[in-house]
Structure 1
Amino acid sequence: MVKNFRRRFNLHMLGLIETKKEVLTKFDVVQLWGNDVVGWEFVGSEGASGGLLLMWDETVFNMRNCHKGARWLCVDGVLVKNNFRCAFCLVYGEHIREEKLIVWEELSFISGLCQLPFCFMGDFNEITQVEERKGATSMLVSAVEFKDWIQDMELVDLVLSDCRFTWFRGQSCSRIDRVLVSLEWLEEFPETRLRGGPRGLSDHCPLVMDVTRMGGGPKPFRSLDSWFTHDGFLRMVKEEWRSIGERQFLDKLKAMTTPLRRWHRENFGDMDRRIDRFEEEIRKVDEMVSNGVHDGTAESRRKALVSSCKKWYIRKEIHWKQMSRSRHAKEMDRNTRYFHNIASARRRNNRIDALRIHGRLVRNQPRIKVAIREFYKDLYHQETSPNIGFRDGLVRQISEEEATGLELLPTAEEIK
C-alpha cells in the first residue's frame, strides 16, 4: 500500500503515523520505500499504540541532526538541490487538552533549538475553524489555544485545495491532519501546495505537499507602482517606446518587457542590499561623530543618506503592498514579510490543480488548459448572422429634433 502510494506521487519524503511497531529495521524500511537509497528515523510505539516513521530519499535530503519526543519526530538537514537548510517534524497529536499543551510546548522548544525554516506535518488531533468539524457550532478551548499557538509560532497553515476533511469515522468528519510551515519556508518555496491523497482503508486521508513550480502559461503585462517613484522612469519609457517604432499596441507592450526588465534590474535590483548599504554608511557617520571626528559636512551627509534610505524603504513598501493586493494594506503594520506571505498565498490559491470535466476529476495540467480554452472558445464564439443594413427598413430615421437632442451637452443633474 505504501509503495504503491509512493510510486503514484513520486515522493521524496514520507511520514507515517501510528505504525504500531515498537522496533523498525532497515529491512522493514527498504520494503516500504522500495529501494535502499533511503534515510529514516522512527519513534517506537507503546505496545500497539502510536509509533512514527519518517523516510526520505538520500539523494534529495541530507540529515544533520535528529530529535525525538513521545509524540513527534524531527530531522534537520539540507535539501541538496538548492542547498537549503531546514527541518521536518512529524507530529501525532494528543487527545487530552493538557497533554496537547505539553506537545505544543515541546514543538516550540525544538523550533527554537534548531533556528531553521520549519515544516510541521501530521495528525494534530485539533481543528482551527468551526467548519473543519462536521456539525460543529463552536470551537473548544483547546482548538482556540491551538490556533493561538500557530499564530505565536508565526506558522502558515497550508490550505487543503481539494477536500474539506481528512479524518472519517462513521458520521464524524474532521480536518485534523495538516501541514504548518514557517515564513522562511514560504520565502524559499512560495509555490508550496497541499492536497489530499486517496484514503483507501484508513480513517485518514494522506496529505501530499508539492513544492515544485508549475508552469502557468504566459503572464500578463504589469507595471510596478514603485517604478513611478524613480525620477528617470517615465523618461526611459518614452525613449524606449519611440525606439520600438510602428507596431501593434500589444506588440509594443510585449517588446517593452525587455528594456523594463533590464531597467528594473539596474535600478531596483536587490532593494534590501541597497538599504543595507545606506544603513551601514549612516552607522559609519554616527561612529565618526561619537569618536569626536566631526566636520561641517558630516551632518549634511547624514541627512542625505537618511533621505535616500527612507526613499528605498518607501519603494520597498509600495512594491510588496502591490504584490500582496491585500485588502488590509492601509490598516496593517508596515511589515514587508506579511505582504510577501500574502502575495505567495494568492499565487498558491489562484492556481487550478484539479478540474471536473464531464463529471470526472482531472489533475493533468495540459488537459485542464485545453478544457478551459475550449470552454471559453465555445462560450464566446461568433455566431453567424445575416448582415442587415440601415436601409433594410428595420431602423427608422430619427427626426431633426431628436438629432439635435443627441448633440446637447448633458446638464449638471444628468451628470449627477
Structure 2
Amino acid sequence: MKILSLNMSGWGNTAKRRRLSSLIQSGVFEMCLLQETKRSDFDDFMIQNLWGNYNVDWLTKESTGKRNLWSELLDFKLNNEKGEWVLGGDFNAILKVDERKGCNGGGLRNEREEFGLFVDLVELSDIPVVGKNFSWFSADSKSMSRIDHFLLSEGFIDKGGISGQWIGNHDISDHCPIWLLCSNLDWGPKPFKFNNCWTRHLEFNSFVTNLWRNLNINGKKAFVIKEKLKLLKEGLKV
C-alpha cells in the first residue's frame, strides 16, 4: 500500500491545493494523511477534487493534542484484538537527539523519552529514512527537525514489503511530505528491535541471561550472534 503523509500548515489557496493534488496523483497513492489543514468543514466535492476522481473515501478527526492522542491510541491497542498498525503524520516529537538541529528547549529530552516510551508500548517501529534527514524546516532554514514519522507494526512491514520511508521536498508547507517505500526486494535481515520498556520487568535480566547461556549455536562468530539474537527475539515475544 502506498501511503502519503503531509502537515499542510493550512488548507491554503487554490494553487497550493493544486500542487498537493498533483503530488497525490503523481505518486498513485492509495491513502493520504493530511494534518493541520486548519479547516473544520469538508465535503465530497473538496476531497474528490483534491484526489482527482470520485472513487475516494475520507474522514476527519479534530485535533486533541499529541499526548491525548498517544493515550487514546494506547488505550485502543490494549482494549482491542491484535492487528497490524500504521501510524503516520506529524507527531511533533523526535526519537533521537540527532533528529533535531538548531532548536532549543528545556523539555525536549523529557518529550523525546515520552515519545520513545509510547512507541515501545504500542510495539511499533520507526523504519529507516531515505531522502532527507529532516522533515520540518524553519523559514530561515536554521532550525530543522524530523518530527514527521511512519510507525509500523512488524507484520505490516512484512506483508507490505516496506523497505523505508521517503522524505520529499517541501514547497507548499514548512513540512516535507513523507511516504512509504514498498518493495519485494530482499534487503537482508531486519534489525533487532529492542523495546526499552522490557528492562522495567523485574525478571528481564535473569531471563535474558539464562536464555542466552542455554542457546547452543555452532559456526562463525557473526553467524552465532545473528542466530542467538533471532532466538532471543522470539523468546522475548512469548
Tell me whether the two structures share a fold, i.e. TM-score over 0.5. Answer: yes
Cα deviation 1:175-218 (Å, max 9, x = unaligned): 000000012212323434210122113100000112242599xx
Alignment of 1:2-401 (within 5 A): 2-44=20-62, 70-71=63-64, 94=65, 100-112=66-78, 113=80, 115-135=82-102, 139-169=108-138, 170=140, 171-214=142-185, 330=228, 334-336=232-234
SS in 1 for 2:88: strand
Distance across 1 between alignment mates of 2:148 and 2:24:
19
Distance across 1 between alignment mates of 2:56 and 2:72:
27
AA aligned opposite 1:103? L
Distance across 2 between alignment mates of 1:22 and 1:188:
35
Question: What stretches of structure 1 of length at least 5 have no aligned partner?
Answer: 45-69, 72-93, 95-99, 220-313, 340-416
| Match in the other structure for 2:16 | none
Question: What stretches of structure 2 of length at least 5 have no aligned partner?
Answer: 1-18, 189-214
Q: In 1, are the aligned partners of 2:132 and 2:168 still within 8 Å (CA)?
A: no
AA aligned opposite 1:122? G
Aligned length: 185
Q: In 2, are the aligned partners of 1:111 and 1:118 still within 8 Å (CA)?
A: no
Higher relative contact order (CA 8 A, sep 6+): 2
SS in 2 for 1:40: coil
Q: Which has the larger radius of gyration?
A: 1
Distance across 1 between alignment mates of 2:102 and 2:29:
34
| C-alpha RMSD of the superposition | 3.3
Residue identity (%): 26
Q: In 1, are the aligned partners of 2:126 and 2:150 still within 8 Å (CA)?
A: yes
Q: In 1, are the aligned partners of 2:86 and 2:153 still within 8 Å (CA)?
A: yes
- TM-score using structure 1 length: 0.40
Distance across 2 between alignment mates of 1:122 and 1:326:
39
Distance across 1 between alignment mates of 2:224 and 2:67:
33
SS in 1 for 2:38: coil
AA aligned opposite 2:116? K
Distance across 1 between alignment mates of 2:235 and 2:169:
35
Q: CA deviation at 1:140?
A: 1.4
Task: Name the structure with the higher helix share.
Answer: 1
- TM-score using structure 2 length: 0.67
